Each structure stands twice: as structure tokens, then as C-alpha cells.
Structure 1
């Protein structure tokens, strides 16, 4: 498309997508919206949209992100008008494939930035609809009962012996965990972050279901869980005695909405996007069964008591989280999590147990020589076979959409990782054992 025609298309579309400017349009009788949102969220938006736009039927097609991409790649895009879903990586890929029409919004109302983090497309093809924060869900009463401190930051995960009372999602099995662990890794540094994760996981319960991570704290199986916040916020709203802790260096990442390039009902599609980004639409996110964070600062005046305002978060530290870098790393993080933690958790429990015992002995009776051995053992125990300098170069090998093209390269890397991890951990265990007092 030539630049003049493209600018004209953007201008015409923008005249409707200025948060309510589309109210004068004569809408079509239906709009087809594709999503993977849960029913309790979708139903409330469906009912509210149809009340606001009588005569327009909102039709929902539920598709996970992989199936949605297939649908939107069809010549007619499956008749879809709007793609509206919490799938962080889908929107940039679909934008590059030309799947969306350009949008335009009023940045005085929708800043496109939350907690210093850009959340909307800088090219203008999709817009943030809500954001979720990443942190810890805790049961304060259970922590007090078990004599455990309440963690306040990521480093506290490795500072406490949890005895299985910490729940952590398995990166390759839980969808939100790629972003969760990348936030921690960018906050703490790549090598230091992996060492922290390994030490914490040695004393944790690994969970393979996203909802079950927070649920493990709600039902008493764990005292602390590392999670995305909306599961916990819904539990809190429904009266469960749990609380959320956002580490000072975390991020709030978006779910997004876009209009399909071939939308057969473009006016109704614009009206739907206008509605979900409007004050009435955004306020629905405060419902106890939804509990997501709106992307409009002006609606937080209506927020329930105790709601964190991510636009005015107290205790936050300056942290420029790089979301694009994180999206590229999710597959690599899942592969490393399997190699370092899932496949070797029993060994980690033994290794870190010996290190902690050695450190306790050194603290009771300082000895510079033993202290140096313990320090070296700790460094080897936290070994990660991919350096921070190499992570971005290796990450494409493990991206989901590319990994099937190079299975031999991926397998060879993982085999090399295994040998290097085993060697580092064996040496760490030997060093730590040498510092323990001899048996009587």
C-alpha cells in the first residue's frame, strides 16, 4: 500500500477509534470476536456491550493462541472481526504477518505505558486492554504458623528454607511462567537470577498447572507461590485469606485487542474496541470474578478498596523491563528450567542442603579456608550453561515457532548443557562436603 493511502486509512480509522467517536456509526448486526479469555470475563463484557449497542450481536469464538494464528492466516481470516486475548507473544507475530488494521487512540486517556513499561504497540496495530502483575501470593497466617518470614522481594525466595511450602510453576508447562521468570532474570541479572531460582527450587514444590500455582496457597498446600496476580486477586476478592506481594522490581504486562485486517463488520469491530477501552468497559475489570488491572488511569477512582494502582505503585524501584527481549527468551527459559531444575531437583535438594549446612557451620565457627570453599561451592551450584551475553543469540533456537526447524541443534545444546551442569554440581557438592565437620 502506498504511503498516502496508508495514511488516509489510518486517519479514517482513527476518526472512529478515539474512545467513543464511533458512537455515531451505523453498526452492523453482529461482530465476531476471537478470544481465549475465560467465560466469567467474556460473559460480562458480552452483556455490557450488547446493552450499549442494541441490535448488534456479539459472537464469541474461543481459540487458544496457536489455533487463533491459524485462523487469522486464512484468506478471509475465518470471518473474525476482533482478536482479544491474553497472549503476549501472539500480537507482534500477527502484526508482522499483516493480520491487523491500524488503530488510533487518545494517549491523554490511554497512555500506553503502565508502571514505566510500554504496553501498547508502538506501530499502532494493537492496544493494551488490561495488564497483569507478577509476584508472590502468600498466606500470612500459614507463614506465621510455620515460622516462616513473609518474602518482600525476589531474593527472599532463596533466603528461606521453605521445606516444600513454596510453589513454583514449571516454565515449560505453565503459560505465564516464561514472562514471570524473565521478569525475575532481568531484575536480578541473568546469572544471579538463575542461581536464585535453582536455590529456591531446591526447597520448593514444582507445579505444572497455572491455576494450581495460586490455588496451592489458597487450599493450604503451600504458604507462598510465585505467580501472575489475577488468580490470587480473584481469590482475595472472594474472601480467601491470602495476600499479594509485588517485588519492588517487577512488571505489569498486557493482554491486548486488535481489529482483523479482513474484518467483515468493521464498524461493529471498532465499536467493540471502543467499548472495551472505554471507562464503562474498563471498570468491568474490577469485578470480583475478573480482577484485572485497567489500562485507563482515570477509572482507578472507582477501584475497590485495597486495589493496587499500577500507575502509582508505592515501593517500586526504577526498572526498565524489556518486553521484546523477554518474548524472544521464553522458549530458552523453559528449556533451561527443565535442564537446571525439573530434571535435577532431587540433586539440587541434596546439593543446597549440604551448602546450607556448611554455611551454618562456617557462621558458627568462622574459618577463612572453609569459607572460601563454601563460596566456590555456592557459585558452582548456581551455574547456568548459557551466559547472559549469549542468551539472546541462542534464544531463537528455542522459540516455539522456529524450534521444529532445528531439533538436532537444540538436542545437541541440551546434551552439552547436561554435561556441564552435572560437572559443576558434582564439584560444588564435593567442595561443600569438604567443609563439613568430620563425623565423630
Structure 2
């Protein structure tokens, strides 16, 4: 082989070897986002391939932990700030300050845009709210909701959908937003009232916007980009931020012990750059950039929500450390009292609504007292704030988000108690409401 030809062959082989390993991204984001970024990045860097592993947030954390350093995925990309707190605490992230976009502000409201230790970086901004199908509401003669409290009203019974915080990181953030905005006890009462009006608790967070877009559900509790993507993609839907909302960054971080950190940093820098930020405006994505709109060359569509203004008006300054600390309590309580007892909660709620209607037409002090007892029984949290603050209460729950509860453990026994108590409460509330209605 001639020397020049040999050198050329060796150069090609070396180049192929350098980029043999694709960038592996583990993320909870839907395909509409990941495929758009994958195609744009591979077009810009044709010699680098991107592999997407789509898993919910809890499964993503578990997957990173179960792989040894050197065999892990390269990038963690998700909406849940508490998940990044876990990754940071367990030393699963590496610093990559060179990827940051200097045009991004230091904070959104009072919330840091990037991790102070440079272990993860805000890539898009998100708020939490309510989406609805305009045709559905018109057909059912329902007013458009504006606040979480609206969804507790009898008119919305059977018309609402949500997912479970144990199955969806964005739903967990929505639940935590309500709990932090209203306080633990009042927040849980509101959540249980809303859940009682729900037609379904979907398997994944995507099931809620898909159902609202198609008209299967009238109203859904969602992260903003689900509602905005439906609207800007032409579905007959609208979205609103309640006063009790929070605005936090969806972040991206370099995983410690990944296979291809050098190219992973290129992807992160691309996603954070103005070029990558403009991809968020794609109608099927409709996420909110981390940079002020005047930095994007006038390409933001008219009427697009100004998330920086939403953050200034928000009543919630989200505490991700608090959310991470009580993660298992919140997700377990929701599953044991809502997800696994939805039919019983629906039945109690329906009976309460029917009793309220009859009592409004024919007032009765004794019936009113029974109805109050029914509400208090159905919508009181199985763990109140006083219990939550007791020393040692959180100990059984303070474990890694990725660790699963084993049958027979103290935590399993606690969850069984909650489940049993919820069933009994809903049955008692049903009976009290029926007694009130009979008077």
C-alpha cells in the first residue's frame, strides 16, 4: 500500500473510532422534542450519532445508577429539578460550565437558572397549569377554568384527567406546586377534590394532553408545553397558568461515567445555544426558551406566553430540596389514596355533589352538618402537616428515588395503612352524603 493511501486509510479509521460511540441521552421528554433535537444536531455534526433512551424520571435515575462508570449514558435531560438534586447528591453528574449560554439570566423569578455548582443547566423553562378542549367544553356547556380551585366544582365531575406523580415527573411537579402554594393540608384537600372529579388517572403524563387534544377528556392538569404544543399544532385547546403555579427550568446535565463526554458536551452546548433554543418554538414542541425573547431575533410567535412575566406573578417560589425530601411521601400518598382508590373517591365525590345540590334546593341544618362531615372525611389527607413534621416520620421514605419498596418492609406496611384508611374514609363519606341527601 502506498504511504499516502495508507495514511488516508488510517486517518479514516481513526476518525471512525473517535466517533464510534454515539451520545446516549436518557430522558423523559416526548419524541416530538427528542427527535427534533437529534435530527438538528446530527445535521450540524454528521459524524456524531445520538441515541435516545426514553424513560420516565424515576426509571431514568435507576438506569443511570445501575450502570457502572464508563457504561452509563452521557446526558440526563428532564423537567424535574428534584431529580437533578438526587443526581447531584449521589455524585452522578459532572461539571461542564463551558456549555452555558451567556445570554441566559442567572434566575427565573427567584429560582436559579443553573445549578450553583455547575452540575446541571436550565435548557427550557416550564410552568404548570390547566389545558382544556374548547369544543368539549362548549358541547358540555362548561366554563373555561382559570384556577386549580375551579376544578373542584361539581360542574366538572367526570370531565378532568391527570396522571400520577409516581409515573410522571411533570405531574409530581404539578402536585408539589399545589402543595407548596396552598400549604400541605389545604393543598391535599384541593388535590383530593380535583381527583374526585377526574375521569381517569393516566399511565403516563402524555395520556392527559393526548386525551384532551382528542376530546376524550375535557380538561387536564399538565406542564405548559403539553397545552401549548396542542394549541400551536392546531388542536382546539387552550391553556392557562393559575395564580398558584411555579416556573422552573427543565435541565440538562452531563452524567459522570458516561461513554462519550466530549461529544455529549457538544450536544449540551447546542441545546443551550440560540440555535438550539429556537427549536423550542417548533409548534409540536412549544417550550419556553431560557433566554429573553429579544435575544431570539424576533422569531417568537405573537401571543407566545412570556414565562418571565408568569414567574414574576407566581405565588410559588418552588423549593426543589423540599420536593426531593418528601418525594416518596407525596407519590405514595397520591397512589394509595387516589390512583388505587379512584373509583371509591369518585363515588364519594359524586354523592357529595348530589347532596349539595339537594341541600341547595331544600336547606336542612342536620343535613348540612352531615354533608360537612362527609367532605371532611373524604378530603382530609391521610397524613396531615403535624404528622409530616414529627421527628423521624420521613425516615422510612428517605431513600433514593430509584429504590423500589419491597413487600413486607415498614414502608409497605405504611402504604397499606394509607390505602385501607382511604377506602374506609371514602365509604364513610359516601354514606354520610347519602344520608344528607335523603333528608
TM tier, smaller: 0.7 to 0.9
Deviations 1:254-292 (A, max 9, x none): 332223445676554444333221211111111122222
With 407-416 and 102-111 compared, the bigger mean Cα shift is at 102-111
Aligned to 2:402, the other structure's residue is in SS state: helix
Q: Which residue pairs with 2:183 in the alignment?
A: 189
Q: Does 1:95 align with 2:94?
A: no
CA distance in 2, matches of 1:148, 1:333: 31
CA distance in 2, matches of 1:81, 1:344: 39
With 303-312 and 351-360 compared, the bigger mean Cα shift is at 351-360
Aligned to 1:168, the other structure's residue is in SS state: strand
Map 1:323-362 onto structure 2 (within 5 A): 323-362=320-359
Map 1:203-222 onto structure 2 (within 5 A): 203-206=197-200, 207-222=202-217
Aligned to 2:127, the other structure's residue is in SS state: strand
Q: Which residue pairs with 1:235 in the alignment?
A: 230
Q: Which residue pairs with 1:113 in the alignment?
A: 107
Q: Does 1:148 align with 2:159?
A: no
Gaps of 5+ in 1: 1-27
Q: Which residue pairs with 1:34 in the alignment?
A: 25
Asked whether the 8 Å contact 1:213–1:225 carries over to 2, the reply is: yes
Q: Does 1:308 align with 2:301?
A: no
Q: Does 1:275 align with 2:270?
A: yes
Q: Does 1:45 align with 2:66?
A: no
Cα gap change, 1:96/1:419 in structure 2, threshold over 3 Å: closer, same or farther? closer
1:156, distance to aligned residue in structure 2 (A): 0.7
Q: Does 1:287 align with 2:290?
A: no
Aligned to 1:136, the other structure's residue is in SS state: strand
Asked whether the 8 Å contact 2:177–2:316 carries over to 1, the reply is: no
Asked whether the 8 Å contact 2:76–2:255 carries over to 1, the reply is: yes
CA distance in 2, matches of 1:315, 1:85: 23
CA distance in 2, matches of 1:339, 1:173: 13
Asked whether the 8 Å contact 2:71–2:257 carries over to 1, the reply is: no
- Residue of structure 1 aligned with 2:117, choices 105, 116, 123: 123
Q: Which residue pairs with 2:248 in the alignment?
A: 253
Q: Does 1:397 align with 2:396?
A: yes
Cα gap change, 1:77/1:160 in structure 2, threshold over 3 Å: closer, same or farther? farther
Aligned to 2:208, the other structure's residue is in SS state: helix
1:409, distance to aligned residue in structure 2 (A): 0.8
Asked whether the 8 Å contact 1:115–1:251 carries over to 2, the reply is: no
1:181, distance to aligned residue in structure 2 (A): 1.5
Deviations 1:361-389 (A, max 9, x none): 33334444443332232112212111124
Cα gap change, 1:99/1:352 in structure 2, threshold over 3 Å: closer, same or farther? closer
Deviations 1:76-129 (A, max 9, x none): 432755444445444323322333332437786222432443343122211111
Cα gap change, 1:97/1:163 in structure 2, threshold over 3 Å: closer, same or farther? closer
Cα gap change, 1:154/1:368 in structure 2, threshold over 3 Å: closer, same or farther? same
TM-score scaled to structure 1, two decimals? 0.81
The Cα RMSD (Å) is 3.2
The number of equivalent residue pairs is 410
Gaps of 5+ in 2: 1-16
